[in-house]
Copies of this chain bind each other. A is one copy, B any other.
Amino acid sequence: MTTVYDVARVAGVSTATVSRVVRGSSVVHPETRQRVLAVIEMLGFVPDAAAQGLSRRRKDIIGFVALERGLSEIDIEQDSVLFIDQIVHAAEAVLRDTACSLLLTFGSGGRQFEQRVRSLSGKVDGLLIAEEVLPAEDLRNLAGRIPVVVIAGRRDESGLDVVVSDNVTGMATLAGHLIGHHRYRTLSFVTGPKDAPDARERQSVFHDTVLASPQCVIDQVIHGDFSEASGTAAARVLLDRRALPQAVVCANDQMAIGVLREFQRAGIRIPADVALTGFDDVNPSRLVDPPLTTVSQPLREMGMRAARRLLARIEEPALPPRIEALPTQVVIRASCGCGPAPASSSRSRGPANPP
């Protein structure tokens, strides 16, 4: 392995000068620079990041930790993966213009995972944390040691930098559309996993919105786990009843797709017999027939904002913590009962960056 010493020796300069050239820093004589550069090229020298990190107290690495909800070796929930990956790609894209790289870690929670995150924190300059992968205490604790930005989840993490998408307005708008525009009166809801804060938030907002209309009733709440299979199961529950609700609102797209397919298998027409909606706007939602009315989250925007925020905090640790709420977008397609006509869309206007 070639080091600065080798380069220095061959180029006939000191290691200090080599370092200066490598870091592109300060004033080195152009001629010297050329000579050193040539030697570096010749020797194929690449500075050791560990040594750099040690010396500069900067690793130029930021960590990304998220959980792999429901991803098992056997049954790969591709879309739930996709969901987080969008954020990852966006964050990476931001880092691409910097010296930083993205260190990725997934996990399924639990003691062992917390251990891993802890040791991870020694490898990075800062952490991007998706959802509540950690108990609040550990999180705060972590944030005390290194810069942390939390992505998604609910919005009550105080004292921390948080980037959330405005689930509240999104679901409220969607429910409003169903109730106000389509005049549906009996609605069912398919929930997500209990430990998913955003799932709970969607349910609660749906609940409040529907009950705010005196003529409306939440016909049934069926528990799902975000998987397509659980959507299928939910559909069966619904099909076993005497009468169907007028609309089925799902906490995410995958479950909605499960419901859709099972309904169609049973000869139920969507949206003629039942209206159906999802949440997330994953790619397949556009492809199924009828295309799914859903709520799109600004995944890329979230990833980018979070990354930028983290970078800023690493640069300036004293920054006051801030919550950024990004607006979601209701995507009206056919499954809610709107014709296949030019899809309109309404933008939920979440209050961005409250103090």
| A binding-site residues for B, Cβ under 8 Å | 1, 44, 46-54, 59-61, 63, 68, 71, 73, 76, 78-79, 81-82, 85-86, 88-89, 92-93, 96, 99, 101-107, 116, 118-123, 141, 144-145, 257, 282-284, 287-289, 300
CA distance A51 to B59 in the complex (A): 10
A59-B50 CB under 8 A given contacts A89-B106, A101-B120, A105-B101: yes
Given A50-B53, A54-B54, A284-B284: A102 and B104 interface contact (C-beta under 8 Å): yes
State whether A78 touches B82 (Cβ < 8 A). yes
Residues in B with CB closer than 8 Å to A96 are 105-107, 116
Give A32 to B137 CA distance when docked, in angstroms. 28
- Cβ–Cβ contact A104 & B79, under 8 A: no
> Is the beta-carbon distance between A103 and B102 smaller than 8 angstroms?
yes
- Asked whether, in the complex, the Cβ of B88 is within 8 Å of the Cβ of A78, the reply is no
7 A-B pairs closest in CB distance: A50-B53, A49-B123, A78-B283, A284-B284, A50-B54, A85-B85, A46-B122
Least distance between A257 CB and chain B CB atoms (Å): 7
Q: Which of B49, B73, B76 contacts A122 (CB 8 A)?
A: B49
CB atoms of B93 and A89 under 8 A apart = no
Number of copies: 2
How many Å lie between the Cα of A85 and that of B77 in the bound state? 12
Q: Are A101 and B103 in contact (CB under 8 A)?
A: yes
* A141 CA / B43 CA spacing, docked (Å): 11
For residue A121, which residues in chain B have a CB less than 8 angstroms away from its CB?
46
Bound-state CA distance A149–B283 (Å) is 31
- How far is B2's CA from A122's CA once the two chains are assembled, in angstroms? 11
Do A93 and B122 contact each other (CB < 8 Å), given the known contacts A85-B81, A145-B44, A287-B287?
no
* Contacting pair A89 B82 (CB below 8 A): no
A122 contacts B47, CB within 8 Å? Answer: yes
Of A73, A78, A282, which is in contact with the most chain B CB atoms at under 10 Å from its CB?
A78
11 A-B residue pairs with CB within 8 Å: A44-B141, A46-B119, A48-B54, A48-B122, A50-B52, A60-B123, A61-B61, A76-B300, A92-B105, A96-B116, A287-B288
Contacts of A78 in B (CB 8 A): 82, 86, 282-283
Residues of B within 8 A of A141 (CB): 44
Find A101's partner among B51, B53, B76, B123 (CB 8 Å cutoff): B123
B93 pairs with A106, CB closer than 8 A:
yes
In the bound complex, do residue B46 and residue A118 qualify as a contact, i.e. CB atoms below 8 Å apart?
yes
In the complex, what distance in Å separates the CA atom of A106 from the CA atom of B90? 10
